[in-house]
Chains A and B, each alone.
Chain A
Amino acid sequence: MNAVNRRIYLYNRYERFWHWSQALLVILMMITGFEVHGSYKLLGFGNAVNLHTVAAWTLLTLWAFTIFWQFTTDEWKQYIPSLKKVDAMVRYYAYGIFLNAPNPFHKTAAKKHNPLQRLAYLALLSMVSPVIWGSGLFYLFYSSWKSLGIDAWLSLEAVAFVHTAGAFMMLVFFIAHVYLTTTGHTPTAHIKTMVTGWEEVD
């Protein structure tokens, strides 16, 4: 217990900036998006649309920088999926966690995400993101549909349907993601790491 814990620097300044600003933008877009969808009244439809649009462009800009960062730092490799130890992770979350079993995954600077996390993030990137951004960009450029001839084969209703479906997936991811941040050695350990960049390990 009193052993001096080793600390490793997991998330550098840009990565933390990127993560938290993305988090804020995604939360903002969910709040405004579900208002535009008609789930509740909060900011007013016009304000919600404007904020949603600004947040979308901001997030796209952030991603442009982040993609550049991922490739220049080789961090993109963190998302290469691996099936190794996935079953162990599933078993851990399904019952090991209740039985004081050790987490089968050990974070290192080269492998920040557990195998389940890798799969989840890859699914987010390759499935949820295209659904949201594909439909979202059509939505954003609705006013140009006519001049581009898009209105002949696409309806706003269909785009809204796909976009909303993506939004629900995002919301479910968000709930699970936030919950799983509490599964560190203390409920706030993961969050602290994401704020400071430093992870305490044995």
Chain B
Amino acid sequence: MLSRLKFILPLMAAGALLAAPTASAVPAEPAAATAPQLETIIKPKASTADHSKFKELNRNFQTGPQVTEACLICHTEAAKQVQHTKHWTWESTDPKTGQVRGKKNIINNYCTSPVSNEKDCMACHAGYGWKDDKFDFKVEKNVDCLICHDQTGTYRKLPGDAGHPVYKRVEFPKGSGKFVEPADLKKVAQSIGMPTRSNCGSCHFFGAGGNGAKHGDLDASLQHPGKYLDVHMDEKGLNFTCTTCHATSSHEVSGSRYNVAAAVKGPAHIRGKQDESPAACQSCHSDKPHHEAMLNQHTEKLACQTCHIPEYARNEIGTEASWDWSQATIMGADGKPMVSKDSAGRRKFDSKKGTWVWDSYVIPEYRWYNGVSTYKVIGDKIDPSKTVQINEVGGAPGDADSRIWPTKVHRGKQPYDKVNNYLTVQHTAGEDHTALWHNYDWQKAIGAGMKAAKLPYSGEYGFVDTEMTWPITHMVAPKHDALACEQCHSKSGRLQGIEGVYLPSRDSNKWLDMIGWTLVMLSLIGILIHGGLRIYTGKNKGQHK
């Protein structure tokens, strides 16, 4: 019994963790029935090509790479373009600091690192076959066109297949009795179109292995959002797709948390014009979007998001506030791995992964931010006596290129090497004897992970508190739901502790207040005495001046 559970539960959890990408099972969004006047702006016009008429696509594909080869017959440059993007390399170089980051290089405080776990994690890679460090990034047929362009909603990539889609009917999660059917790759190839919210969301809504878990401002509710949740994506209103803002050319998707346009200045841009940051609010709205000059003036200190995203995770899905890995490998009372959920049905504890705390309708934490974040990359030294910042948010109070931004701060507790003082890479996913989720042995999991990361491991591990800071930018509320003045302009408002601005109502000169009110009190006491004496003497009655 124990051995059976040991076998099934890890698989279930692994399944749950990476079930996320499979959510592309959500059907492609239906054409909006309302707001026809907006249709022309928002919806890409029908393509000039009907891909179902192409003989190149009129064949029974066996694998993803076969489809890509067919795509590349016409779209000769597409794979090369994709191979320059983060969606392919999982790597990003900061243009200002030169630091090489990206999922491949950093250790975050959610699933930590894909290194040694590629077979599972690469279910969200826009490619086929990245299962270890031998993956060849130059092979064009390994670019996955379909994960972004499929319009059937049947194309699914499951953990364990190193980015390949389901080719054979498979039970998923294992032991669940649910089966995933392989997609008809011919139909998928013939369906292709511009990426919809479902395409992007199949990975980005499910980061960290759960709906809404990672970002907080991105979750599956954005498939069919109402106006309250997102004024731009509102299905019955503007009905934006992700790429309406994240304007893309040559497969280079604009807008990234790795390189945030934190303080865009100047007028709105004409769409289509060369634009450094088309995904920024200002590219459509300008940096002076209000009728009142005093409100516009706020844009010199505040990001638009600060007022216009008053809360993130504005739904029951919620988002993870913290992930404590130190609780992983703790077994249930019966000595067996266990899983539990919170009252909203969200994962709360899992012997494989530790404990989580979830939150909904979250008030952001505010930080000065200039768009540059410096990340802890694999091997970076840490000071375990302090909370480790997974990413140091750049910018300074009052700095001309910084704005006060809303952020999600995700708090973690995760393993580190106690002798070498760096965060560890651990081999979590897999079915081999070193995988944490199979064997519940941190020592072996860290050993295998560090070996794959080519980093010395002292053999001594501990757990350290970490924080990761995410600028919040999605789920923009309708204007009537924006922050009211007094939510910041008050003694105990949202921007308590934010320096570098004089905030009327929050700030005042203590000395002036003391002297001023003392004078007022003295005047009142003075007239009380004077008036009291007048009444007491009673002698001025009937007098006139």
Contacts and interface: CB of A to CB of B under 8 A. Distances in A.
B296 interface: yes
Interface string B9-48: 0000000000000000000000000000000000000000
B544 interface: yes
Contact of A97 (B485, B517, B534): B534
Contacts of A179: 527, 530-531
Interface in A70-115: 93, 97-100, 102-107, 114
A45 interface: yes
A184 interface: yes
B520 A175 contact: yes
Interface in A20-69: 35-38, 41, 44-46, 49
A105 B543 CA distance: 13
Nearest to B542: A185
Contacts of A41: 486, 490
B491 interface: yes
A11 interface: no
Interface string B94-114: 000000000000000000000
Interface in B503-523: 504-509, 512-513, 515-517, 519-520, 523
B170 interface: no
Contact of A45 (B490, B543, B544): B490
A175 B524 CA distance: 7
Contacts of B542: 1, 185
Contacts of B498: none
Nearest to A38: B505
B5 interface: no
A37 B519 contact: no
A156 B502 CA distance: 6
Contact of A202 (B293, B297, B537, B544): B544
Given A146-B300, A168-B519, A179-B527, A38 B543 contact: no
A172 B297 contact: no
B528 to A, nearest CB: 9
Nearest to B292: A143
Contact of A46 (B485, B509, B543): B485
B540 A157 contact: no
A160 interface: yes
B294 interface: yes
Interface string A156-192: 1100110011011001100110010011110001000
B53 interface: no
Interface in B160-194: none
A182 B545 CA distance: 12
A45 B293 contact: no
B539 interface: yes
A161 B19 CA distance: 58
B419 interface: no
Interface residues of B, number: 39
A118 to B, nearest CB: 15
A100 B519 contact: no
Contact of A175 (B297, B300, B527): B527
B139 interface: no
Given A97-B534, A146-B300, A164 B293 contact: no
Contacts of A167: 516
Nearest to A36: B504
B523 A164 contact: no
Contacts of B508: 37-38, 160, 164
Nearest to B493: A45
Contacts of A49: 294, 485
A171 B512 CA distance: 14
A18 interface: no
Contact of A100 (B502, B506, B543): B543
Given A98-B537, A107-B545, A157-B507, A171 B530 contact: no
A189 B520 contact: no
A172 B523 CA distance: 7
A104 B517 CA distance: 33
B399 to A, nearest CB: 14
A165 B519 CA distance: 11
A12 interface: no
B516 A164 contact: yes
A166 to B, nearest CB: 10
Given A142-B294, A142-B297, A172 B519 contact: yes
A201 interface: yes
22 contacts: A1-B542, A37-B508, A38-B506, A45-B486, A45-B489, A46-B486, A98-B533, A98-B534, A98-B537, A100-B539, A100-B540, A105-B545, A146-B300, A156-B504, A157-B502, A160-B502, A160-B507, A168-B519, A176-B527, A183-B540, A185-B543, A185-B544
Interface of A: 1, 35-38, 41, 44-46, 49, 93, 97-100, 102-107, 114, 142-144, 146, 155-157, 160-161, 164-165, 167-168, 171-172, 175-176, 179, 182-185, 189, 200-202
Given A45-B504, A103-B544, 7 more contacts: A38-B491, A105-B545, A168-B517, A175-B523, A176-B527, A179-B531, A185-B545
Interface of B: 293-294, 296-297, 300, 484-486, 489-491, 502, 504-509, 512-513, 515-517, 519-520, 523-524, 527, 530-531, 533-534, 537, 539-540, 542-545
A-B CB proximity, top 7 nearest:
A103-B545, A185-B544, A168-B516, A143-B297, A46-B485, A100-B539, A38-B505
